[in-house]
Amino acid sequence: MELNIQSNISLKPFNTFGIEEKTSFLIEVNDNETLTQIFKKGIFQENFFVLGAGSNVLFTKPFEGYIIRMNSKGIQSKIESDHVYVTAKAGEIWNDFVWHCIKNNYAGIENMALIPGTVGASPVQNIGAYGTELMYVFYECEAFDTQTGEFTTFKKQDCDFSYRDSIFKSKYKGRFIITQVTYKLSRIPHINSSYGAIEAELTKENISQPTIADIANVVSRIRVEKLPDPSTVGNAGSFFKNPIVSEKTFKRLQAQYPTIPHYPMPKNQTKLAAGWLIEQCGWKGKEYGQAGVWKNQALVLINRQNATGQEIYRLSEQIICDVKQKFDIILEREVNLL
């Protein structure tokens, strides 16, 4: 089939911030053959960017080049005694995939219900929520090498997963296009209700022996209360990563701020809550032109109406500056800037 290259396309429907910027070209990818065609045309030697559902990107200017939008669909499972290997194409919507697994009683991703985005993006920043991370269920992924035009397989040990990070965000940033992901899930559920408000919600609803569907439902309800719905208020979830600091830095901060929220990490490190740091600087619920900080969670920057990507970027710069001044901590953006 002839390659369908659309030109001068608005990106507004393709990013959850709802930023109005244009791309010179857009190509929808529904199968692996399309990637080979794009390669043969030499497009990967030009400026390009791979997009899933656009829920972790901020467009700050018109995109001069090719947006490659992953839209391939399909899910297959292979049962092996207590486990199941489930393979999903990159363009599957993550939350639909989570519910597909729950309906089949495949456990392990129910705590990550309602995270926006696609399956293909899930390993890129090792998505995580409510006490779990993708790396715990990741088995392997197939990826297209835009430099050689070949398909290759990444096993878990090849991916360098860590908190909101992987090899696809570091060493191989922008080089590989993930075409499908295989997850190793359990057919014997291990319920994990210890994180955040899950337990309290279950008690409120009189659920003493939760199923994986109960966990996903409760997590979804908590998320809806806390986070703005991108279909009404543009946002990309957590704009910044939670900083991970050394023991020395943590002790310094705890002496000054005894109530500082913190979570122990390996190697004597401590994870701090970026939202709390931002809130302490007075930013929670604040407006900044057409941009702003979400009233229920200071980690989330929002497009109040018609914000430009530049406006949201400037707000993030201001927040980074204030947090540095007050706590001597440099916040890192989780969202991809373009």
Ligand X SMILES: Cc1cc2nc3c(=O)[nH]c(=O)nc-3n(C[C@H](O)[C@H](O)[C@H](O)COP(=O)(O)OP(=O)(O)OC[C@H]3O[C@@H](n4cnc5c(N)ncnc54)[C@H](O)[C@@H]3O)c2cc1C
Residues that bind ligand X (CB under 6 A): 16, 49-57, 70, 90, 115-118, 120-122, 124-125, 127-129, 168, 177-178, 227, 230, 235-237, 336
The whole-angstrom distance between residue 68's C-alpha and the CA centroid of its chain comes to: 18
Q: Least separation, in Å, of the C-beta of 338 and ligand X?
A: 9
Look at the alpha carbons of 312, 317, 321, 327 in this order and tell me if their dihedral is positive or negative.
Answer: positive
User: Does the annotation mark 46 as catalytic?
Assistant: no
Dist CA 156 CA 223 (whole Å): 28
Q: Which is nearer to ligand X, 154 or 327 (CB)?
A: 154
Residue 162 CB burial class (10 angstroms; 0-12, 13-18, ≥19): middle
Paired strand residues for 87: 76, 182
Dist CA 25 CA 20 (whole Å): 15
- Per the residue annotation, which of 164, 166, 193, 316 is the catalytic one? 164
Q: Least separation, in Å, of the C-beta of 288 and ligand X?
A: 19
Q: Which is nearer to ligand X, 115 or 218 (CB)?
A: 115
Dist CA 308 CA 61 (whole Å): 9
Nearest to 117 by CA among 104, 134, 136, 131: 134
- Per the residue annotation, which of 110, 140, 311, 334 is the catalytic one? 334
- Per the residue annotation, which of 55, 122, 238, 316 is the catalytic one? 238
At residue 166's C-alpha, the angle toward residues 162 and 167, to 5°, is 135
Q: Which is nearer to ligand X, 121 or 198 (CB)?
A: 121
Q: Which two tokens stand for residue 283?
A: 């930013």
Are the C-beta atoms of residues 151 and 143 closer than 8 Å to each other? yes
Q: Least separation, in Å, of the C-beta of 258 and ligand X?
A: 28
Q: Least separation, in Å, of the C-beta of 48 and ligand X?
A: 10
Q: Least separation, in Å, of the C-beta of 124 and ligand X?
A: 4
Q: Which is nearer to ligand X, 119 or 253 (CB)?
A: 119
CB atoms within 10 A of CB 182: 19
Q: Which is nearer to ligand X, 117 or 210 (CB)?
A: 117
User: Does the annotation mark 164 as catalytic?
Assistant: yes
* Angstrom distances, CA of residue 254 to CA of 134, 234, 265, 266: 31, 34, 16, 19
Q: Least separation, in Å, of the C-beta of 240 and ligand X?
A: 12
* Angstrom distances, CA of residue 10 to CA of 94, 125, 186, 229, 316: 24, 26, 42, 21, 24
Dist CA 23 CA 11 (whole Å): 7
Q: Which is nearer to ligand X, 84 or 219 (CB)?
A: 219
Any idea which residues carry the catalytic annotation? 164, 238, 334
